[in-house]
Chains A and B, each alone.
Chain A
Amino acid sequence: MREEKYLLVKTKQLFRGRRRPLSHVNLSSEIDRYAYTNALSKSSPATKLFLAISLLLISVTSPTPVVPIIVFLTSSTLILYSAKIPYRFYLKLLWYPIIIIAITCVIIALFFGYQEPLTEINLLGLRWAVFKDGITLGINIFFRVAGGLSTQFFLVLTTPMTSILLIIRKARVPTVLIETSLLVYRYIFVFIEVMETMHTAQELRLGYSGWLKKIRSTSLLLGNLFIRTLEQGERTFTAMNARGYDGNIRVLEDLPKPSKTALAGITLFAVTLAVTAYLTMNMGVV
Chain B
Amino acid sequence: MLFRLENLSHQYSDGTLALDDVSLSFAAGERIALLGTNGSGKTTLLHHLNGILQPTSGKVYFEDKPLKYNSKSLLDLRKRVGFIFQDPNDQLFAPTVKQDVAFGPLNLGQPPDQVKKAVDEALTTVGMAEYAEKPPHFLSLGQKKRVALAGVLAMQPEVLIMDEPTSNLDPRATSEILHLLLRLNKESKITLLLATHDVDMVPLFANKLYILNKGKLVSEGSPAEMFSDAEMIRSVNLRAPRIAHLFEVLKKEDNLPIDKQLPLTIGDARKEILRLLSSQKTSKPEATSKRRNPAA
A251-B119 Cα distance, complex, nearest whole Å: 12
Stretch at the interface among B98-106, B189-197, B268-276: B98-106
Contact-size category for A: 20 to 34
Task: Please determine whether A236 and B98 come into contact, CB atoms closer than 8 angstroms.
Answer: no
The verdict on A242 contacting B102 (CB below 8 Å), with A162-B96, A182-B94, A236-B93 known, is no
Our count of residue pairs bridging A and B at CB distance below 8 angstroms stands at 102
Task: Please determine whether B75 and A244 come into contact, CB atoms closer than 8 angstroms.
Answer: yes
Task: Please determine whether B95 and A162 come into contact, CB atoms closer than 8 angstroms.
Answer: yes
Task: Please determine whether B134 and A241 come into contact, CB atoms closer than 8 angstroms.
Answer: no
Main SS of chain A's interface residues?
helix
Task: Please determine whether A160 and B135 come into contact, CB atoms closer than 8 angstroms.
Answer: yes
Q: Is A252 an interface residue (CB 8 A)?
A: yes
Residues from chain A with a CB closer than 8 A to the CB of B152 are 243
Stretch at the interface among A79-87, A183-191, A275-283: A183-191
A178-B225 Cα distance, complex, nearest whole Å: 54
Task: Please determine whether A182 and B95 come into contact, CB atoms closer than 8 angstroms.
Answer: yes
Task: Please determine whether B78 and A186 come into contact, CB atoms closer than 8 angstroms.
Answer: no
Residues from chain A with a CB closer than 8 A to the CB of B133 are 36
Q: Is A33 an interface residue (CB 8 A)?
A: yes
Q: Is B85 an interface residue (CB 8 A)?
A: yes
Query: What per-residue 1/0 map shows which CB atoms of A233-249 lie under 8 Å from chain B?
Result: 00110111111111001
Q: Is B28 an interface residue (CB 8 A)?
A: no
Task: Please determine whether A32 and B135 come into contact, CB atoms closer than 8 angstroms.
Answer: yes
Q: Is B156 an interface residue (CB 8 A)?
A: no
Residues from chain A with a CB closer than 8 A to the CB of B92 are 186
The verdict on A186 contacting B135 (CB below 8 Å), with A241-B52, A252-B102 known, is yes
A78-B89 Cα distance, complex, nearest whole Å: 35
Q: Is A3 an interface residue (CB 8 A)?
A: no
Task: Please determine whether A162 and B135 come into contact, CB atoms closer than 8 angstroms.
Answer: yes
Q: Which residue of A lies closest to B161 (CB)?
A: A242
The verdict on A250 contacting B107 (CB below 8 Å), with A189-B135, A242-B78, A244-B79 known, is yes
Residues from chain B with a CB closer than 8 A to the CB of A238 are 52, 85, 90
A165-B116 Cα distance, complex, nearest whole Å: 20
A162-B6 Cα distance, complex, nearest whole Å: 46
Q: Which residue of A lies closest to B104 (CB)?
A: A243
Give B161-195 interface residues, CB cut-off 8 Å to A. Answer: none
Q: Is B123 an interface residue (CB 8 A)?
A: no
A to B CB contacts below 8 Å, 25 in the list: A161-B95, A162-B95, A162-B135, A185-B95, A186-B93, A186-B94, A186-B95, A186-B135, A186-B137, A236-B90, A238-B85, A239-B90, A241-B74, A243-B78, A243-B82, A244-B79, A246-B71, A246-B75, A249-B103, A250-B102, A251-B102, A252-B98, A252-B116, A252-B119, A253-B112
- Tell me the A residues contacting B by CB distance below 8 Å: 29, 32-33, 36, 160-162, 165, 182-183, 185-187, 189-190, 193, 232, 235-236, 238-246, 249-254
